[in-house]
């Protein structure tokens, strides 16, 4: 098994550069998860069944078999059919702004139904850590050693609308870019077709991740409860959600997922990060420069 956890040191360096520049808003009393007009299906004990939010969009909670050191040990999985919903990158490299927004604010500004972190970013506060292109906009044209590339906006209607590629499996970034107008390179968690790429480690954090299931559906994955990436991968692979590939997006207080559809509004954001913020007290979403959002696909 190839071990991608060696990139954990790179993650730590990049993450710490950003976190030093983001203040903690002390004294707030807002809770970390905001529930508005949710039905009984979303009660604390409901963790096993997919709940349909809209055609092509379902939500499920996975309760970890091995409990986290803090929190409720639940992992939220938003499953999205790319034939009904399209992905879109949004970032301050497009808008020219000097600072980012929370996932909720990005959704409100860009009319997204949901949004999650697009990935880690460099110390300049806007450049994606890894290759990032959204159609004509290139946030970062330089690839690094990360082995996972999520691609969407295919040039040929016969290609999958969304696919997570492994760069060590006979495909190159150049080949992907010939077929897809949008691509995001991120640190790999799970290699196709469902291989945990992380050895066990002592570091744990709240996590936002992007996955693909065996039917080619998009998975927005979020856990406020911290896990090592080895343990998180094991929980997801054993959860029966059909996970075949996944990439890390963000960890700690900056990890976030926001959803607003109909009467359902859900805002989740992280807190715990080993060696940075070892507590579960963060009570407000932190601004981030880049997100991946979804909106209903326009049928042609």
286 neighbors 253 (Cβ within 8 angstroms): yes
Distance CA 139, CA 141 (A): 7
The pLDDT assigned to 40 comes to 38
Q: Which of 286, 290, 294, 295 is nearest to 90 (CA)?
A: 290
264 neighbors 37 (Cβ within 8 angstroms): yes
Q: Mapping DSSP to helix (H, G, I), strand (E, B) and coil, where does residue 178 land? A: helix
Distance CA 52, CA 60 (A): 9
The pLDDT assigned to 46 comes to 37
Which mean pLDDT values do the consecutive 10-residue runs of the chain (300 residues) have?
Answer: 56 42 33 40 54 98 97 98 98 97 98 98 97 98 98 97 98 98 98 98 98 98 98 98 98 98 97 97 98 92
Q: Tell me the whole-structure pTM to 2 decimals.
A: 0.88
Question: What does each C-alpha distance from 258 to 46, 123, 130 come to in angstroms?
Answer: 19, 24, 23
Other Cβ atoms closer than 10 A to 295: 16
């Amino acid at each position: 098994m190839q071990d991608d956890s060696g990139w954990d040191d790179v993650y730590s360096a990049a993450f710490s550069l950003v976190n030093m520049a983001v203040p903690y808003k002390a004294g707030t009393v807002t809770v970390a998860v905001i529930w508005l007009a949710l039905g009984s299906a979303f009660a604390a004990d409901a963790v096993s069944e997919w709940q349909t939010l809209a055609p092509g969009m379902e939500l499920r909670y996975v309760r970890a078999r091995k409990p986290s050191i803090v929190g409720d040990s639940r992992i939220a999985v938003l499953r999205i059919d790319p034939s009904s919903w399209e992905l879109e990158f949004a970032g301050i490299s497009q808008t020219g702004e000097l600072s980012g927004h929370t996932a909720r604010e990005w959704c409100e500004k860009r009319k997204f139904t949901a949004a999650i972190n697009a990935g880690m970013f460099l110390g300049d506060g806007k450049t994606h850590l890894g290759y990032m292109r959204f159609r004509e906009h290139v946030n970062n044209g330089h690839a690094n050693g990360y082995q996972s590339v999520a691609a969407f906006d295919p040039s040929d209607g016969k290609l999958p609308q969304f696919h997570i590629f492994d760069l060590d499996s006979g495909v190159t970034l150049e080949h992907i870019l010939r077929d897809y107008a949008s691509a995001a390179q991120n640190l790999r968690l799970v290699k196709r077709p469902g291989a945990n790429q992380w050895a066990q480690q002592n570091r744990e954090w709240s996590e936002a991740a992007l996955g693909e299931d065996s039917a080619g559906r998009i998975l927005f994955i979020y856990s406020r409860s911290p896990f090592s990436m080895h343990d998180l991968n094991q929980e997801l692979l054993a959860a029966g959600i059909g996970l075949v590939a996944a990439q890390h997006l963000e960890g700690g207080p900056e990890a976030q997922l926001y959803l607003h559809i109909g009467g359902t509004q859900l805002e989740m954001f992280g807190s715990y990060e080993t060696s940075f913020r070892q507590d579960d007290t963060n009570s407000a979403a932190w601004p981030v420069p880049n997100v991946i959002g979804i909106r209903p696909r326009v049928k042609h």
